[in-house]
Every structure is written in structure tokens, then in C-alpha cells.
């Protein structure tokens, strides 16, 4: 891909490094190199967490003014304070607010967007960034100067977290970044974005590629590519032990997850407020000149959340020389209000491709220890393979 700098787009890793050097992004302790990803920066939990009565948006006052009180019993928001230095347990179903170690001094031409990390989403830990005097989550306005706070709501499992761990990430954006549909189709013809998830790994023909302000993908409920298993997904168990986010490859999946098996109809009935891990029918690639993001399911298609963590870095499913023929996207799914019946091959989610300002000096899966570069239907890295 071309390395010519674009006037608009997502900032690559080398520009993030420059922002850190210029104190546009600042933190104490200092930001570590491991936090810098090809098109994003991992944010770290601070020293305290506040158990809240409810979620909120600080449109009318600074967040610190709601937390800096002498008597939590007189607060309309805070129930109690927790120290994260040596680790603390966040109970499922409760709302927590954690001041992050990083803070921003964005120039007027630069805005940002946050998203949970893949591992966070796969544990059904709902996170979103809150900033001072804002009426929305995860969107950080251009020119914002101030601290960052993370709202954390474990939904299926209680989790143990510590200061310095990263549950979410942030991207920096200049101007309009999204690639239009005609550019996506042209890119697919030149540098394939979608492959069939079967033994052939053949390119999805252009006439079968659907676009509408992004690239549509389908759900896999047959798992026909998997000769060793009939499992097509997982559902979180209602009662389980605490998951320590610092332990990798530690837990037995059977203690936390119920496997779901394919049936002759290629269908699955999703129950309201249950949490599912499913996978895409296609294999997706993100060329080095682009970053991508899975976007919320259209409300008109049903009361269904199809992802928690949506960032795909440059090089996802691609490799350093394009040698990887795509990677399945893993979906974190939670239906609301009513049961929802889905079928194999049903259009299920959409991915928006954003142009990079210039090619990143890092690629996903190339020397970064990326966890999910060649994933299939994969639980978070905390579970034994």
C-alpha cells in the first residue's frame, strides 16, 4: 500500500508516539511502548474505582466534581471507593467508574474515539469512555483538554482488575476517515477484503460483496470448515467464579461457557439478555493503509447488540506481505427484550473501513504478540486452549 500521507484519516502508531512526546497524550507513570498499537493506544486503569449507583453523562459538570466528596453517603452517584493498586473485584451487574492514567490535550483539528479491547468484549465486560462536559460516550471531541474516565460494567462474570491493566483503547482521527462504498469495492477488487471460510479460502466474488456505508458480513452457524467439532458458538453461564484479568490461559472454558452445537436447520434462538460468542461466515482482511471498526447493528434489524469490541488494526487477517487469507471476526452478541432467531448466512453486522493518514510502522500480528490474528471461534485469552 502507498505510504503517502493523507490529510484526513486515522493516525498511525508513529504519530501516536509523536503525540506522546509532545504531551498531547500524557500520563503518570509514563506511557509504555506496549500500549502503542498500529492504529490505537491502549489506555490503563488508574488507582481507584468508584462504585456508582447508576451510569451517567457529565454534560453539565466536570466528572471530578461528582467524585471529590467527603461523604459518599450524601452523594447522588457514588456508593463507595475501591483501591485497584493490588487488585480489586468488580462484581457483575454493577456500574464502576475508573479514572484512567492517561489524559489528553487535543489540538482543535484532532478528535478521538474509544472502544473496548477484544479481550474485554469477549468477557462481556461493557466499557465506555466518559469525558468532562460531554453528552456522549466513547466520542472525544476535537480540542478536548482533560482527564479520561472509564465506565466498567461486568455483565456475565465478576472480574479482578489492577492498576495499569488495559480494558479499552483509543484512536485519533483527523477529518473524515471513512472510505466510501465505491472505494471499498475498488479496494476489494485490487486487494481482497473478504474470503470464504472454507478449505479453499477463495476470494468472495465482487458481485457478492454488499456495501452500504460499510462492508456487510454474515453469521456462521454451521461451522462447516471445522472438521473436528460441531461447536458453532458459546453462551456464558449464569453462575461462575471470578476471572482475574492478569491470568492468561488459566481457566477451563467449561466452568464459564456452555458450548452451542450446530443443528440441521442452521439456526440458533438467542434468548433475551444472554451473552453469546459467535463467528463470521467470511474471513476479513484489513490492508495496511486502512483501519476498520465493527459498527452497531442497525436498530431496524432487531433489538440485538452484535459486538462490544469493534476495532480492527491495519494488518488484521493480512500479514506483513498479504500471506494470510483473512481471519474470522468474533462477535459478542446480546439480544434485548425478546427472543431472536438467527440463521446461518444471515447478514449480521457491518465493518467500516477508515483510511490511515499514512501507513503505520507496526502491523497487527507482526512482532506485536497479537492474540487473535489467526483466530477461528475463539474465547478470550484467559481460557485454556
Number of domains in the chain: 2
- The predicted model scores a pTM of 0.92
Query: 196 with 226, same domain?
Result: yes
* Confidence class for position 40, pLDDT limits 50, 70, 90: very high
Residue 381 maps to a domain: no
Query: 14 with 158, same domain?
Result: yes
* Confidence class for position 72, pLDDT limits 50, 70, 90: low
Query: 66 with 137, same domain?
Result: yes
Query: 231 with 334, same domain?
Result: yes
pLDDT in tens, 218-277: 999 998 555 456 899 999 999 999 999 999 999 999 999 999 999 989 999 999 999 999
Q: With a cut of 50, say whether residue 3 has pLDDT above it.
A: no
Query: 193 with 300, same domain?
Result: yes
**Residue 16 belongs to a domain with what CATH number?**
2.70.40.10
Residue 305 maps to a domain: yes
Query: 142 with 218, same domain?
Result: no
pLDDT of 1 reads 38
Q: With a cut of 60, say whether residue 370 has pLDDT above it.
A: no
In total, the chain counts a number of residues equal to 385
Write down which residue in 174, 203, 237 finishes a domain.
174
Q: With a cut of 90, say whether residue 198 has pLDDT above it.
A: no
Residue 360 maps to a domain: no
Residue 367 maps to a domain: no
Query: 29 with 163, same domain?
Result: yes
Residue 3 maps to a domain: no
pLDDT in tens, 80-131: 999 999 999 999 999 999 999 999 999 999 999 999 998 999 999 999 999 9
142 burial (CB, 10 Å; 0-12 / 13-18 / 19+) is: middle
In percent, how much of the chain has pLDDT > 70? 89
pLDDT in tens, 51-64: 999 998 887 778 88
Query: 156 with 219, same domain?
Result: no
Write down which residue in 156, 174, 192 finishes a domain.
174
Mean pLDDT of 157-183: 97
Q: Across all residues in the chain, what is the average pLDDT?
A: 89
Residue 364 maps to a domain: no
pLDDT in tens, 270-325: 999 999 999 999 999 999 999 999 986 554 555 566 556 689 999 999 877 778 88
Residue 233 maps to a domain: yes
Query: 110 with 170, same domain?
Result: yes
* Confidence class for position 369, pLDDT limits 50, 70, 90: low
Query: 126 with 13, same domain?
Result: yes
Domain that holds residue 247: 181-355
Q: Are 357 and 3 in contact (CB under 8 A)?
A: no
Sign, Cα dihedral of 64, 70, 73, 76: negative
pLDDT of 2 reads 40
Query: 26 with 67, same domain?
Result: yes
In percent, how much of the chain has pLDDT > 90? 73
Residue 239 maps to a domain: yes
Amino acid at each position: 500500500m502507498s505510504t503517502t500521507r493523507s490529510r484526513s484519516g486515522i493516525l498511525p502508531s508513529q504519530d501516536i508516539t509523536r503525540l506522546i512526546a509532545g504531551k498531547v497524550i500524557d500520563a503518570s507513570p509514563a506511557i509504555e511502548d506496549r500500549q502503542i498499537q498500529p492504529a490505537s493506544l491502549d489506555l490503563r486503569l488508574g488507582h481507584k474505582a468508584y462504585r456508582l449507583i447508576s451510569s451517567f453523562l457529565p454534560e453539565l459538570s466536570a466528572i471530578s466534581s461528582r467524585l471529590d466528596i467527603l461523604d459518599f453517603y450524601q452523594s447522588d452517584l457514588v456508593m463507595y471507593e475501591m483501591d485497584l493498586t493490588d487488585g480489586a473485584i468488580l462484581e457483575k451487574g454493577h456500574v464502576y467508574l475508573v479514572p484512567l492514567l492517561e489524559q489528553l490535550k487535543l489540538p482543535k483539528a484532532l478528535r478521538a474515539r474509544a472502544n473496548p479491547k477484544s479481550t474485554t468484549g469477549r468477557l462481556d465486560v461493557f466499557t465506555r469512555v466518559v469525558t468532562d462536559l460531554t453528552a456522549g460516550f466513547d466520542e472525544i471531541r476535537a480540542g478536548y483538554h482533560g482527564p479520561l474516565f472509564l465506565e466498567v460494567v461486568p455483565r456475565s462474570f465478576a472480574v479482578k482488575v489492577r492498576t495499569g491493566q488495559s480494558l479499552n483503547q483509543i484512536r485519533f482521527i483527523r477529518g473524515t476517515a471513512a472510505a466510501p462504498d465505491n472505494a471499498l469495492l475498488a479496494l476489494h477488487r485490487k486487494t481482497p477484503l473478504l474470503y470464504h471460510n472454507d478449505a479453499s479460502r477463495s476470494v468472495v466474488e465482487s458481485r457478492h460483496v454488499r456495501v452500504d456505508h460499510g462492508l456487510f458480513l454474515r453469521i456462521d452457524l454451521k461451522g462447516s470448515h471445522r472438521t473436528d467439532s460441531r461447536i458453532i458458538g458459546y453462551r456464558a453461564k449464569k453462575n461462575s467464579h471470578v476471572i482475574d484479568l492478569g491470568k492468561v490461559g488459566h481457566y477451563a472454558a467449561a466452568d464459564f461457557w456452555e458450548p452451542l452445537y450446530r443443528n440441521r436447520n442452521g439456526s440458533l434462538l438467542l434468548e433475551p439478555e444472554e451473552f453469546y460468542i459467535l463467528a463470521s461466515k467470511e474471513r476479513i482482511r484489513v490492508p495496511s493503509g486502512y483501519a476498520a471498526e465493527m459498527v452497531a447493528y442497525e436498530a431496524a434489524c432487531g433489538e440485538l447488540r452484535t459486538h462490544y469490541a469493534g476495532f480492527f488494526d491495519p494488518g488484521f487477517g493480512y500479514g506483513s506481505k498479504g500471506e494470510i487469507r483473512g481471519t474470522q471476526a468474533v462477535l459478542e452478541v446480546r439480544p434485548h427484550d425478546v427472543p431472536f432467531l438467527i440463521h446461518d448466512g444471515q447478514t449480521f453486522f457491518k465493518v467500516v473501513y477508515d483510511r490511515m493518514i499514512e501507513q503505520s510502522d507496526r502491523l497487527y500480528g507482526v512482532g506485536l504478540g497479537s492474540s487473535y490474528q489467526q483466530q477461528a471461534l475463539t474465547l478470550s485469552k484467559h481460557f485454556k486452549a
